[in-house]
Chains A and B, each alone.
Chain A
Amino acid sequence: MTTAKTTSAINPVEPLLRTERIPHIWCPGCGIGTTVNCFARALYESKANLDKVAVVSGIGCTGRVAGYVRLDSFHTTHGRAIPFATGLKLANPELKVVVYSGDGDLFAIGGNHFIHAARRNMDLKVICVNNLLYAMTGGQMAPTTPDKAITTTTPYGAFEPTFNLPALAEAAGASYVARWTTFHVRQLSKSMAEVLNKKGFCFIEIVSPCPTLYQRRNKMGDGLEAMKYYKAKSKVRNGAPTSEIELSRDGEIVVGKFVDRERPPYEELMRNRLVEQLGDRYIPMECSVCG
């Protein structure tokens, strides 16, 4: 007799999703949906005012996240989610602006914007689903593809050095840097909730499987195998020096929160300088939407 009750109960994160757009485009075993579930949970548990949260994505598999969250959401151009989000945030400072995109989008075509937004300490929460290659286009090498890994454009194995994303983020000036895998759903959700309430440029890297293109071509099994792999290979080392946590094809995956520091965000720096110079003549950016 509990059946009716069970079927009528909804998952508490469901109102945060555009359920009319389900089924989504992601493959079986893909990690992106897991991260979205963690994100929805973080929003739910942080009790954020959902009318004041915006998600901005670039292009690619992860770029489709914006289309599935029931929030003001922007699917922008390839690599340019961060500068779009910069304009959005500056025009509308009440918003919490989350940039949700993939490793190729954020670090190849969009790499310049990432380092400059981190340098400015723009008040953006950047979530990068790192599946180690370009997935939407069929599995090409990315700046994150590990040495020797097989992709369609590295059929004999990748050989380019990769970006160590947490080290890059820290060096460029990020206020918060963490890395988790899609195995670490609770830790990831907690990290996401944490950055929603932290000022400044925050960065979370999520190592995530692409069973269709990366796992298969590198003989690493399906999505479930990926979870076992992450469980076996990952090690939580909060506060680890980011210079020591580079990912490799078969090596340890160091996860945790590496950086959590206070730096004045861009808007505060701007305001302070202009108040100092202009005094009462300074009129802050007017927001036509803010309450």
Chain B
Amino acid sequence: MQADPRGVLTGVHFIDGDHACCEGAIAAGARFAAGYPITPSTEVVERFASRAPKIGGMLIQMEDELAASIAITGAVWGGAKAFTVTSGPGFSLMMEHIGYAVMTETPCVFVNVQRGGPSTGLPTLPAQSDMMQARWGSHGDYEMIALSPNSPQECFDLAIRAFNLSEQYRTPVMFMMDECVGHMTEKVVIPPASEIEIYPRRHTKKTPAEYLAYAAGSDLVPEMAHAGEGYRFHITGLTHDERGYPMMNVPAQDKLIRRLARKIKGAEEQLTFTDEANLEDAEVVVVSYGITSRVAQKAIDEARARGKKVGRCRLIGVWPFPDKHLRAIAARGVKAFVVPEINLGQIAREVERATGKMADTIPVTHAGGGVHDPELILDAIMEAAK
């Protein structure tokens, strides 16, 4: 289906990533947001507070991030499309409800405009150090979908994709921005609503008598009903059977947890989103994401000007990790992957895990608070290309 035109500000804008993310969420159909103020993400909900009452939506400012992150889940079961927005410490507080959304298969989006950590860290300065937290932060085994935009335009475009994927797979999606992308102002083109494809809620067509809340078909994603429609379903964070009723035993746990993981990891190819260049003859491939990908581009360009065979693989989707895709790139004869990121090597370890038997992995780390000096990335590329 196409986007609701009432929520789409078609035209050319000059806005920052936070504002663009908000417009993307609105274009995707989000009409409910719950938030708690935290730098550098607050502008997203500030814009939503202003926009929502004119398009049939609302923001509620909750008393903390625990409340915000479960209010959106409640709203989704009430029939809305919903999201919350936070950064660092707030993201830590939301972890339990990311797990709850995974377990109850609640489609929703968590936006994290990353800043330096741990703890209060660097509230106003960038980092990419929550990438593993996005993947593993809640307890238990589960798979995650996470996207990482590198421009205000992508904050708009990928926010829509984040909502679509959350609906398609009935799972929370992490939208992993960073302070630079959030506060960077650039041209953002918002297309006509008719050109924005929306994945609708997978609402059941069954009658209440036929409906089982967690019976999944071949794609492992169950159909949803909303409160107030007469289905009288039960939802729980406990391990549950197809009826949604608590079921405390090994077979029930095995069946549920493996299905939840498989519905996402089994779709790894469909969930691989990259932006690539010069991979054909590349001996060195720079793997990066978010703001760092733009810094890395300068180093790539310089290395190529010096005659080095360097390619780009920018991760737009970071989770599920594109293991197979990176292995396919490595198999073309890549000597090394250079992985710059604003953390101490979180995604570099994933690259090494996926391709370590085929190529070297060279992390280019940064503890946070700024972006890399491109020279550092260039040095790593030149060393790898020797």
Contacts and interface: CB of A to CB of B under 8 A. Distances in A.
A11 B238 CA distance: 30
Interface string A267-291: 0001000100010011111111110
* Highest count of chain B CB atoms <10 Å: which of A67, A76, A89, A91: A91
Given A74-B235, A77-B100, A95-B228, A84 B54 contact: no
B70 A95 contact: no
B228 A289 contact: yes
A50 B64 CA distance: 32
A77 B140 CA distance: 15
B57 interface: yes
B297 to A, nearest CB: 41
Contact of A86 (B60, B228, B233): B60
A13 interface: no
A95 B75 contact: no
> Which range contains the number of A residues in contact with the other chain?
35 or more
Interface stretch (B76-84, B258-266, B276-284): B76-84
Contact of B232 (A70, A80, A113): A70
Nearest to A92: B78
Contacts of A90: 32, 58, 60, 71, 75, 78
B234 A73 contact: yes
Given A86-B74, A95-B228, A270-B58, A116 B53 contact: no
B269 interface: no
Contacts of B228: 51-52, 54, 72, 92, 94-95, 289-290
B333 to A, nearest CB: 49
Nearest to A289: B79
Given A80-B97, A88-B227, A113-B67, A67 B245 contact: yes
Interface string B143-171: 00000000000000000000000000000
A286 B62 contact: no
Contacts of B245: 18, 21, 67
Contacts of A270: 58
A290 B72 CA distance: 18
B56 interface: yes
Nearest to B229: A289
Contacts of A82: 67
A80 to B, nearest CB: 5
A46 to B, nearest CB: 17
Contacts of A74: 74, 77, 227, 234-236
Contacts of B76: 87, 91
Contact of A75 (B66, B226, B235): B235
Give the most central of A89, A278, A288: most B CB within 10 Å: A288
Given A77-B70, A83-B66, A87-B73, A283 B56 contact: yes
A283 B26 CA distance: 14
Nearest to B72: A87
Interface in B92-115: 96-97, 100
A158 interface: no
Task: State the majority secondary structure of interface residues on B.
Answer: mixed
A286 B31 contact: yes
A83 B6 CA distance: 28
B97 A289 contact: no
A283 B51 CA distance: 11
B31 A86 contact: no
A112 interface: yes
A278 B49 CA distance: 13
Q: Which of B32, B66, B227 has the most CB of A within 10 A?
A: B227
A71 interface: yes
B79 A75 contact: no
B93 to A, nearest CB: 11
A18 B234 contact: yes
A288 B79 contact: yes
A74 B80 CA distance: 16
A66 interface: yes
B34 interface: yes
A87 B74 contact: yes
B331 interface: no
B118 interface: no
B192 interface: no
B132 interface: no
A169 interface: no
Given A83-B71, A285-B58, A287-B79, A76 B237 contact: yes
Contacts of A52: 228
B89 interface: no
B74 A91 contact: yes
A85 interface: yes
Nearest to A94: B228
B215 interface: no
A289 to B, nearest CB: 4
Given A51-B232, A87-B76, A283-B53, 14 more contacts: A18-B245, A50-B232, A56-B74, A73-B234, A77-B100, A79-B66, A82-B67, A87-B78, A88-B78, A91-B80, A92-B80, A283-B54, A285-B32, A285-B80
Interface of B: 6, 31-32, 34, 53-58, 60, 62-64, 66-68, 70-80, 82, 96-97, 100, 226-238, 245-246
25 contacts: A51-B229, A54-B227, A67-B234, A70-B232, A72-B231, A74-B227, A75-B234, A75-B236, A77-B100, A80-B66, A80-B97, A83-B70, A85-B74, A86-B62, A86-B71, A87-B76, A87-B80, A89-B78, A90-B75, A91-B82, A92-B227, A95-B78, A281-B54, A283-B56, A289-B229
Ranked 9 nearest A-B pairs via Cβ: A87-B74, A91-B78, A92-B78, A87-B71, A83-B67, A286-B56, A87-B75, A75-B236, A88-B74
